[in-house]
Amino acid sequence: MNKPKIALTIAGTDPTGGAGVMADLKSFHACGVYGMAAITSIVAQNTKGVQHIHNLDVSWLKEQLDSVFDDDLPHAIKTGMIASKEMMQLIREYLERFDQIPYVIDPVMLAKSGDSLMEDEAKSNLQNILLPLADVATPNLPEAEEIVGMTINSEEDIYKAGKIFIKDIGTKGVVIKGGHATSKDKAKDYLFTRDDVYTFESTRFNTPHTHGTGCTFSAVIASELAKGRTIYQAVKKAKDFIALSIQYTPEIGQGRGPVNHFAYMKKEGLDDE
């Protein structure tokens, strides 16, 4: 049996399993990649909102990362909820030391409920500390606006923001997700790289159950990069994956329920149930 590819997620938790490291590990598994996880924050949340956040001491995060990197190196790294500047600086040390490993950043700032998941100071530090090291960043429209410091109301604005990510911040690739756009029929995402711009469209489904979409989307990209796929190939797979995940949500919870992390496996015949 061939040794599996490994993806590492560095993020917060979700006890109901729809977002954070729980969603990442499910997505890794669905993509045929072995998942590892280092916890940044313990979050009491459900489909109705975030009730409490406990950010771990940076030393606890370091101990987890030391344990991972002292044993078997991952083939891709993905970060999600990173609450503080100190955590970002620590993670940057590992990214610089192991700079051959592809890195995907989901710049998580708000939960689907609207609750803040990041300290205000940390938001401004994303641009200088982690984003310049990313192979792919996956902001939604509000996150992109926060990072580039401009309002995004049109496709022209999206192109301006994409250029800022690539040329000014230094990110190798960025997917600006159009899920928050006003189009009723299509969900359109824009991938900017240093050489090209690509667009991906899927049907927009009329459902409130989109908890964990950002985590899932970026985790699939990390999985595919771990397999040696190009950025374009990884994003295309993630777009197809998340569309099915939203189309066939499990209808769990009393609020914004999670997506279906195994819908893609069923489509591909990888899950017989």
* DSSP letter string, 84-130: SHHHHHHHHHHHHHTTTS-EEE----B-TTS-B-S-HHHHHHHHHHT
Mean residue pLDDT of the chain comes to 90
Marked catalytic residue, from 12, 35, 173, 214: 214
Which domain, by its residues, includes 77?
Answer: 6-138+209-267
For the cut 80, the answer to whether the pLDDT of residue 70 exceeds it is: yes
Mean of the pLDDT values across residues 216-241?
97
Is 215 labeled as catalytic in the residue annotation?
yes
Amino acid identity of residue 38, one-letter, is A
For the cut 50, the answer to whether the pLDDT of residue 273 exceeds it is: no
Marked catalytic residue, from 13, 47, 171, 213: 213
Q: Is residue 182 part of a domain?
A: no
Mean of the pLDDT values across residues 194-220?
92
Q: Is residue 172 part of a domain?
A: no
Segment among 28-32, 105-109, 117-121 with least mean pLDDT? 117-121
For the cut 90, the answer to whether the pLDDT of residue 58 exceeds it is: yes
Cα separation, 126 vs 84, whole angstroms: 10
Q: What is the pTM of this model?
A: 0.93
Q: How many CA atoms within 13 Å lie on the side-chain side of 248?
A: 12
Q: Is residue 20 part of a domain?
A: yes
Marked catalytic residue, from 78, 85, 112, 177: 177
Predicted pLDDT of residue 125 = 87
Predicted pLDDT of residue 267 = 72
Marked catalytic residue, from 188, 212, 237, 257: 212
Beta bridge partners of 197: 192
Segment among 76-90, 112-126, 140-154, 188-202 with least mean pLDDT? 112-126
Q: Is residue 124 part of a domain?
A: yes
Q: Is residue 185 part of a domain?
A: no
Range among 18-27, 109-118, 259-268 with highest mean pLDDT value: 18-27
Is 31 labeled as catalytic in the residue annotation?
no
Note the pLDDT tens digit of each residue in 76-97: 999 999 988 999 999 999 999 9
* Closest alpha carbon to 115 in 206, 14, 216: 14
Mean of the pLDDT values across residues 59-68?
98
Predicted pLDDT of residue 272 = 43
Give the pair of three-digit tokens for residue 46.
């459900």
Q: Considering its fold, how many domains does the chain have in total?
A: 1
Cα separation, 161 vs 240, whole angstroms: 24
Q: What percent of the chain has pLDDT over 70?
A: 90
Mean of the pLDDT values across residues 30-40?
97
Cα separation, 121 vs 251, whole angstroms: 36
Side by side, the strands of the sheet bearing 136-137 are: 34-39, 6-11, 76-79, 103-105, 136-137, 173-176, 186-193, 197-203
Predicted pLDDT of residue 178 = 75
Q: Is residue 192 part of a domain?
A: no
For the cut 90, the answer to whether the pLDDT of residue 71 exceeds it is: yes
Mean of the pLDDT values across residues 27-42?
97
Marked catalytic residue, from 9, 40, 193, 210: 210
Which DSSP category does 204 fall into? Answer: P
Q: Is residue 273 part of a domain?
A: no
Range among 111-120, 144-153, 165-174 with highest mean pLDDT value: 165-174
Mean of the pLDDT values across residues 11-16?
96
For the cut 70, the answer to whether the pLDDT of residue 123 exceeds it is: no
Marked catalytic residue, from 138, 179, 215, 257: 215
Predicted pLDDT of residue 204 = 83
Residue tagged 């997506």 (tokens)? 259
The CATH number of the domain where 34 resides is what? 3.40.1190.20
For the cut 70, the answer to whether the pLDDT of residue 173 exceeds it is: yes
Beta bridge partners of 203: 186
Q: Is residue 249 part of a domain?
A: yes
Residue tagged 């996956």 (tokens)? 138
* H helix or E strand, kind and range, residue 173: strand 173-176
